[in-house]
Amino acid sequence: MQAPPESLDPASFGPFRRRVLSRGSELYRDLPWRRTRDPYAVLVSEVMLQQTQVARVDGRWQRWLSRFPSVDALASADAADVLEEWQGLGYNRRALALWNAARAMSALGGSVPSGQDALVRLPGIGPATAAGVRAFAFDLPGTYLETNVRAVFLHELFAGMVDVPDREVARCVAATCPQDAHDPADDPRTWYYALLDYGAHLKRTVPNPSRRSKAHVRQSRFEGSHRQKRAEAVRILLAAGAGGIGLEEAAEALSSAETGAGRDPLSPEDVRAILDELAAEGFCSAEDGRWRL
């Protein structure tokens, strides 16, 4: 392990970069989305992999592309179909954001942009996701500060330090990323795959370095949470179909799910608040006392 060099000259990171590339080569994971450079397919994988384990995405990514094979195909789909296909991946907001991003791209010609600024202007696409798309689809440099990437930098360059701010890690990430794609053994795509695979290995073999990040937040418990109730409400709306569902029926269905899990039933007022919240975020619409996707 080594401390971050005082100079952020890329040459000063030589030993660190050689170690990461070596470990990345040894630990390389031949994941399905790494066998394509199609920008849309890469974007879908990057969104799916946010806060979701690789094992859960493998299979679901392929199925999504079979159902929505292009930007235009996704843009023309109904929101209900998009949410239905997303079930089981968690964080339903990501599905709607990806759908809205596709609609925005379709309106501009149907292509995924390669520019960082153009990508982050799309719904739900933050700087890290944009940098991932640029690296893996276009082999362009960027600051891809993802959780496994963060783990490598904290383990190798910030050993023993706690509450390390992301701005310090990001400076090192930017300085170490190759600036061109002339060397296929050390281009942005290869470099970030190496970081991802080494970081995943570290999380399995040493105390998670990411816990020493100032940005680290322990994930809240899902079961029984408000997020879990929202997810169940979306499933109830999907099951209701085009006819929608009234408040009493929704309250009965959601309360049944809660009591079946050993929790207290919900009042109609609580269920209305959840449905109104989902409607305000674009998940569903409310008309004449019925909610529908």
Dist. CA 124–CA 46, nearest whole Å: 11
8 Å CB contact between 77 and 98: no
Q: Which two tokens stand for residue 45?
A: 């994988």
Q: Which two tokens stand for residue 272?
A: 């209305």
H helix or E strand, kind and range, residue 285: strand 285-287
8 Å CB contact between 157 and 2: yes
Residue 252 CA neighbour count, 13 Å, CB half = 5
Instruction: Count other C-beta atoms under 10 Å from residue 73's C-beta.
Output: 15
Q: Is 46 a catalytic residue?
A: yes
Q: Catalytic residue among 6, 26, 46, 248, which? A: 46
First and final C-alpha spacing in the chain: 52
Place of tokens 């269905």: 253
Positions marked active-site: 46
